[in-house]
């Protein structure tokens, strides 16, 4: 499973192993209890990195801290269920999808899938989506993504990225079918992973919907954070972009420099290749600069809200669209900005320093809010 697929699921929450306990209970405001045995906790621990497992085994403070984190997560998730959040159609689809991803990943792992991913052909994926019900799932998946991200709703998703996500979603859903047939979903370790991931979604949704005002970063808080973290300053990115531009103009391989320096996750691994695009598909500053170039030309630095771009125009052509001539460009670019990072939306642009500051502040606020909801363990 690739990192792009995982980005849609926002994988990973703090989970724990409390070796000194036979069993313990987490109780939210509902009367329902979540029981985890010592065996369950051991299974959760096995899913962690070797370094972290070592810390859990040797450090009591680490065990206690992660036990409390899990306690808070499950408590907030139970509160969300009590308020009916899990019954909302869009949330239910997220819960179903994360279950499919976890089950499929465990199945692929058991089958020895290598770095190239699961052994599912393009033909199998095409056949899978020929079924109307499966194509409807993909269409709904894209609609949900647009509904949650205004940047997607306001523009056209490039065909290449749509194909990539379609392929990855197909792998997940086909893998889920195979996993269920093989009984992978019945394994306790897999069931625990599903429950924890679903709890994270419920807790996050509850926090966003019910506690938004308490968790929103103010302009002053963002300004203060940026002063404390000068590495997020855009001036440093400009200086780096100017240095890369000098190397491009000196004749170094554009694609190689893009792979080394670009922070655009959608084109970095392809040497900065953006494919073909027309008017209205890029932000105005980028579009204006790109359409002003001749094939083979390199732009000066182009600043957009995403960072600093170096554009190389490859080709131009004119196509008929709805009976009208439409000019298309094929270009490469190098983006110097804040890296999107693991778990980021594969369609969204890299985050700015201000966006990262906002995310860090709101993450900390979310932790504090969770502490007020989560009851103490008895």
Q: For residue 25, give the 3-state DSSP assignment.
A: strand
Q: Which two tokens stand for residue 72?
A: 């808070």
Q: What's the pLDDT score for residue 155?
A: 62
Give the C-alpha distances (Å, rounded to integers) separating 38 from 25, 74, 161.
11, 17, 43
8 A C-beta contact, residue 361 and residue 225: yes
Q: What's the pLDDT score for residue 34?
A: 54
- The CA distance from 370 to 214, in Å, is 11
Q: What's the pLDDT score for residue 366?
A: 72
Q: Which two tokens stand for residue 40?
A: 């369950």
Give the C-alpha distances (Å, rounded to integers) separating 370 from 198, 200, 221, 307, 374.
16, 12, 20, 34, 6
Nearby residues of 127 by Cβ (< 8 Å), 6 or more positions away: none
Q: What is the pLDDT along the chain (378 residues), one digit of tens a residue?
A: 444 333 333 322 222 222 222 122 333 334 333 566 777 777 887 877 888 888 888 888 888 887 777 877 888 888 888 889 889 999 999 999 999 999 999 999 888 876 556 778 899 999 999 999 999 999 998 888 878 766 665 666 777 888 888 988 999 999 999 999 999 999 988 998 898 899 888 988 887 777 677 778 888 998 888 888 876 777 788 889 999 999 999 999 999 999 999 988 889 999 999 999 998 888 899 999 999 999 999 999 999 888 899 999 999 999 877 778 889 999 999 998 865 444 344 444 556 678 888 888 888 887 776 666 554 444
- The CA distance from 189 to 252, in Å, is 50
Which pTM does this prediction carry? Answer: 0.53
Taking only the tens place, the pLDDT of each residue in 36-57 is: 677 777 788 787 788 888 888 8
Q: What's the pLDDT score for residue 213?
A: 74
Q: What's the pLDDT score for residue 63?
A: 81
> What would you report as the CA-atom Rg of the chain, rounded to the nearest whole angstrom?
23
The residue written with tokens 């300004």 in the block is 223
């Amino acid at each position: 499973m690739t990192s792009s697929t995982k980005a849609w699921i926002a994988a990973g929450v703090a989970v724990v192993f409390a070796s000194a306990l036979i069993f313990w209970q987490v109780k939210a405001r509902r009367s329902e209890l979540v029981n985890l045995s010592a065996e369950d906790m051991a299974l959760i621990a096995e899913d962690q990195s070797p370094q972290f497992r070592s810390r859990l085994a040797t450090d009591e403070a680490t065990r206690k801290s992660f036990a409390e984190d899990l306690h808070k997560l499950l408590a907030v998730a139970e509160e969300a269920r009590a308020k009916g959040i899990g019954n909302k159609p869009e949330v239910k689809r997220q819960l179903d999808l994360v279950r499919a991803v976890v089950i499929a990943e465990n199945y692929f792992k058991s089958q020895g899938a290598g770095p190239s991913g699961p052994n599912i052909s393009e033909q199998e994926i095409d056949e899978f989506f020929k079924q109307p019900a499966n194509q409807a799932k993909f269409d709904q998946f894209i609609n949900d993504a647009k509904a949650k991200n205004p940047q997607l709703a306001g523009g056209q998703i490039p065909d290449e990225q749509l194909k990539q996500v379609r392929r990855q979603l197909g792998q997940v859903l086909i893998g889920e079918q195979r996993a269920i047939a093989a009984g992978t979903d019945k394994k306790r370790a897999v069931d625990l992973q599903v429950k924890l991931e679903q709890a994270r979604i419920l807790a996050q949704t509850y926090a966003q919907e019910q506690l938004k005002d308490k968790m929103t970063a103010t302009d002053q808080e963002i300004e203060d954070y940026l002063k404390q973290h000068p590495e997020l300053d855009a001036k440093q990115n400009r200086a780096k972009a100017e240095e890369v531009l000098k190397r491009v103009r000196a004749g170094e391989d554009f694609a190689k420099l893009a792979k080394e320096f670009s922070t655009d996750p959608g084109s970095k691994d392809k040497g900065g290749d953006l494919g073909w695009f027309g008017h209205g598909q890029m932000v105005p500053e980028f579009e204006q600069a790109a359409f002003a170039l001749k094939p083979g030309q390199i732009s000066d630095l182009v600043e957009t809200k995403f960072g600093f771009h170096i554009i190389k125009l490859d080709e131009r052509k004119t196509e008929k669209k709805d009976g009208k001539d439409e000019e298309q460009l094929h270009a490469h670019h190098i983006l110097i900005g804040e890296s999107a990072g693991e778990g980021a939306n594969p369609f969204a642009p890299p985050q700015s320093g201000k966006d990262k500051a906002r995310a860090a502040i709101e993450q900390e606020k979310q932790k504090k809010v969770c502490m007020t909801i989560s009851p103490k363990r008895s």
